[in-house]
Structure 1
Amino acid sequence: MTAPAYTASARWYRDGHCGYDLRTIKSAGRILDLIEFKRPAGDMSRSGLPDLVLCQDMNGGSRLVGNLGGGRFDVANQKGDLTVAAPNFALASTVDTSQQVRALAFPVAQWQETLDDAASGRFSFDLPHIYGGKFDSPAIRSALRTLWALCDEEGAPSRLLARAAGCEILAELCRLGGAPFRQVRGGLAPWAERRCLDLMHARLSEDISLDELAAEARLSPFHFVRMFKRSLGVPPRAYLTRLRVEKASELLERTDLPITEIALEVGYSSNQVLARVFTRHMRVTPSDYRRAVRDPVRYVAMS
């Protein structure tokens, strides 16, 4: 089995002598990493790494002093506050109490082309406004909650989830930092929508990537996410989940396949993952769903 390809920042948290209590690393190899850790009070300085790192303080109540790439700051953190560390910048920072932190690490090399497409080839990570200490963004906090909840449900993030969530979060960071993005109006062209949905149906069991879907529509991933949502009403990841639940329902109704095989058929790694996703959407477990559609009278009597 191939080891996960972690970002440089994730490797630093995992292997470095930083004194951090690492709780979780979930990797969408070479796209982004989700990292959760507890760090003690004291010096948090480190050498520059080629990743942009977004951190969220899960507890609050600490005083953070330092420089993350936008000049020196001295702030009192509240629960949910966000900070961003600039790529390739040697951080100098201290905190006066221990912190529970969730972080997203974006390797710059994997995101530069996507962001260049969104900014007509003129994107730069030189965004000092967002490196200047703590800030708040309801949009980013919501995206982070959704991303962590989905990963708790499904395990390591899929390539589709990682790229789509990354585009959403980076779009908001860049908006706050004043990046010159082109405006995109309207949804997908009918032919592009049809080709993308056909590809989703055809490769339901695979870890299909956002880049592949965007290529079908001849768009950059950054713009594809927004246009897909305008056309279909939900992001690509949510639409794919809907298709998988619908296919699982069909297989439960019409076949005697074991639930483990059905899970693999619709792109989930185990029957436990399918059960979590299916129950959230259908309000019933796969086994109970099968019993209900096969023998509704007996199922009602047993309920």
Structure 2
Amino acid sequence: MLPSRLEPLIISQVYWKQKKAFQLAEDVYVEWVLFAVSEGRFSYRIGEAEGVAGFGDLVLCPPHTPFARTVREPLSFHFYRFIWQTAGISETPLALPARISLMDHSRLRSTYSCLEKLSAQPADDARLARAGHYLKDLWLSACIEAEQGDRQQRAGETDAAIEAAASSIRRLAFGQVALKRISGELGLSPVQFTRRFQAVYGQSPMQFLTSLRLEKAQTLLLETSLTLEQIAEQCGYDNGFYFSRMFTRKMNVTPSAFRKSHRI
């Protein structure tokens, strides 16, 4: 579990877009630093920890620790320098993972979009304060997801049959998915299936399926010029009208407005 009592206090924030290489293959910082990757991938080595980070990953490096890094794919990321505090008092955590992977990609895309727009504003105290707000939001999301994961593990909710069902939903998500047939293959009634799925994943099978479809839809809206009808077809919806209605209901914005407001 991550120490949610801690709160990051921002020192500076910079947005780097489509960086093809780091000027320094290795650096050492006097404060904590965070690389929040919005696009591309890079490999890193921080102390004894090493790996590859991409979208959804937060890479943390403690002060006075060599941070080696190499761009694997053109990299866009938010670079934070900060310190930790508890109730306004500076604190140094005993240990934190070098990489934290966030699973709520819809919320993350929204946060990154706001940060990218913020980077175009004048570098003043108001801008820094807003960037600090988003840093705290990233940390809070990480703490909440870690707590949920720990709670599931303690409760012994790992369920091989439900995990297999989730894999089937992922595989079939963008075509015709018959959730009733999947529950029948497990020998469960729809109610039993939903209850067990909710216990493991924190959402119903239909919510899980919808989140997969809408995540892909957001990507297609931002990265392609496909029509709503074409996006609907690629995301498993029968037509553009139904897709638009579902997207608007879940995201509180129409697909067209989402595309217009988030594209840079």
Structure (1 or 2) with the larger CA radius of gyration: 1
- Length-normalised TM-score, structure 1: 0.33
Higher relative contact order (CA 8 A, sep 6+): 2
Q: Which has the higher strand share?
A: 2
- Length-normalised TM-score, structure 2: 0.37
